[in-house]
Structure 1
Amino acid sequence: MSSDDIDDDATERLEEAAAQEESLFQAPPLAEQERMVEAMLFASSEPLSTRAMQDRMPHGCDAAEAVFSLRKRYEGRGVNVVRVGDAWAIRTAPDLSFLMSREQVETRKLSRAAIETLAIVAYHQPCTRAEIEEIRGVSVSRGTIDQLMEMEWLRFGRRKMTPGRPVTYVVTQGFLDHFGLETTRDLPGLKELRAAGLLDSRPPPGSFPGPEDAGEDDAMDPPEDQEDMFGP
């Protein structure tokens, strides 16, 4: 065997080794990544963040792109890939909820105080207990807040940079998931609440801005930075 033949053989082996090594780090096709994301979302009892899915997927995968592609694929189907805060979940299409009505079980009813407290926090978060009491006009019992936290609809937020550094309360991803919201920006405004009969058409002075006030719907819109409340 000539030296040229030996060199060609060695070169061929090196190329094969390089190709094998490259294949070890080559990301799976996007369709396969979609299947991985789909399996994780289907099996999980809670919404999953893209980072959590990315950590479980092989090297080179892009969980965010796979979720986006899967979400498009599920559009118009019986189940959808929906965003819940900063996470993702597979949920029944909203227009088919009537088919599952018999499966719903009401475990407990919230008191009026709990409903009002939850609404105040949802629209004005982060709120301290004193701020909740100021808006309601009455004191808030510890049991009311404890009940909402046990249901995992409220959680502690950042402490206020005020004397005493009081704790604040914010709504959770569980709250968003239960009410089918992506973020608290999807909460209904004044017009929707009045149209649904949940508010008087002419609220008492001091409770909400009157119709003459410009941008009345903005009064109940959440702050622009409140999405930051939902950390990983």
Structure 2
Amino acid sequence: MNGVPVEDDDLFAQDAVDSAPSATELEAERIAEALVFASAEPVPEAFLVERLPRGVDVRAIMSRLARLYAGRGVNLIRIEDKWAFRTAADLSFVFRRDEGEAKKLSRAALEVLAIIAYHQPVTRAEIEDIRGVQTSRGTLDVLMEAGWVRFRGRRRTPGRPVTLGTTPRFLDHFGLEEIRDLPGLEELKGAGLLSGRIPPDFRVPLPTTADELGEDEDPITQLDLEELGLLTPGGGADE
């Protein structure tokens, strides 16, 4: 058979049987597919673990589903520890948007977003030190309204400044599984986003992958949220 010994064919056939998903795994795939499809937001793996048959490997189930959807018009993608269906990136040209639907970010907002993404956790003062100019509250408001930036905690330094970081929605919008997927120095050069006259010792910062607070950060409290204008006194959401 095309030069393959019979015993090797038998081994390949046995491997195929061994690797074929069981009835339980197939049912788990169907349930996971339905849960992710029905959700407006990326679905955490912990949520899937609670609802899939006990004992199945959730990450293996989702990875197999992702491979099934890899060549289709809709892809199953992982965003940190969450899963979501998204239109295939190469088909974005078929969707037309109303001219007034999307607002372009200002250059200042793009600079601030890039600094937060690469330097997080970072304070407003640190952002201004990197940019060399003051950052308006409006610029940060735009990024927070988009859901791309969040308050992480309080830095354990005089004044206890608030630290900023990106969100899962930021990763989702820019097609990143995790923050370490941000382009590095050579990729930025190749895309023409860095000039040829950058300092020889310049390095693109490698952002942390941990969502937990750093050793120099304290958690945001309800009083902090009230002070920042995110909650009204007493705990109600500030409209």
Normalized against structure 2, the TM-score is what?
0.72
Shift of 1:59: 4.0
**Residue in 2 aligned with 1:207?**
none
Partners of 1:177 and 1:104 in 2: CA distance = 22
State the match for 1:155 in structure 2. Answer: 150
Gaps of 5+ in 1: 1-26, 204-209
Distance in 1 between residues matched to 2:98 and 2:212, nearest whole Å? 27
- Which of 42, 47, 59 pairs up with 1:52? 47
Q: Distance in 2 between matches of 1:103 and 1:228?
A: 35
Find 1:111's aligned residue among 106, 112, 119. 106
Is this contact kept in 2: 1:86–1:230, CA < 8 A? Answer: no
In the superposition, relative to structure 1, how do residues 64 and 197 fare at CA in structure 2: closer, same or farther (>3 Å)?
closer
The list of structure 1 runs, each at least 4 consecutive aligned residues, that deviate by more than 6 angstroms after superposition, is: none
Query: Pick from 28, 45, 67: which aligns with 1:72?
Result: 67
Give the letter for the 1:78 counterpart.
G
Aligned residues: 191
Distance change in 2, residues 1:77/1:104 (3 Å): farther
Matches within 5 A, 1:71-90: 71-90=66-85
Q: Is 1:220 the equivalent of 2:204?
A: yes
* % identity of equivalent residues: 54
Query: Which residue is 1:181 aligned to?
Result: 176
Q: Is the 8 A contact 2:76 2:83 kept in 1?
A: yes
Coordinate RMSD, CA, aligned: 2.3
Q: Which protein, 1 or 2, shows the higher relative CO under an 8 Å CA cutoff with sep ≥ 6?
A: 1
The aligned residue for residue 164 of structure 1 is 159
**Contact 1:28 1:61 (C-alpha < 8 Å) held by counterparts:** no
Residue type of the alignment partner of 2:206? P
Which residue does the alignment assign to 1:131?
126
Shift of 1:192: 2.3
Q: Is the 8 A contact 1:50 1:63 kept in 2?
A: yes
What letter corresponds to residue 161 of structure 1 in structure 2?
A: R
Structure 1 residues 65 and 190: alpha-carbon distance in aligned structure 2, compared to 1, 3 A threshold: closer
1:95 pairs with 2:77: no
Q: Which has the higher helix share?
A: 1
Separation in structure 1 between the aligned mates of residue 83 and residue 65 of structure 2, nearest angstrom: 11
Matched AA of 2:204: M
Query: In structure 1, the residue corresponding to 2:155 is in which secondary structure?
Result: coil
In structure 2, how many angstroms separate the alpha carbons of the residues matched to 1:192 and 1:30? 39
Contact residue 24 and residue 53 of structure 2 kept, 8 A: no
Q: Report the secondary structure of 2:64's partner residue.
A: helix
Which protein has the larger Cα radius of gyration, Structure 1 or Structure 2?
1
> In 1, distance between residues paired with 2:212 and 2:190?
30
Question: Is 1:42 paired with 2:24?
Answer: no
Deviations 1:96-153 (A, max 9, x none): 33233x2576421212211111010011111000000000101111111112111110
Opposite residue 123 of structure 2, the aligned amino acid is T
| Contact 1:78 1:93 (C-alpha < 8 Å) held by counterparts | yes
Q: TM-score, normalised by structure 1?
A: 0.74
Q: Specify the SS of the correspondent of 2:37.
A: helix
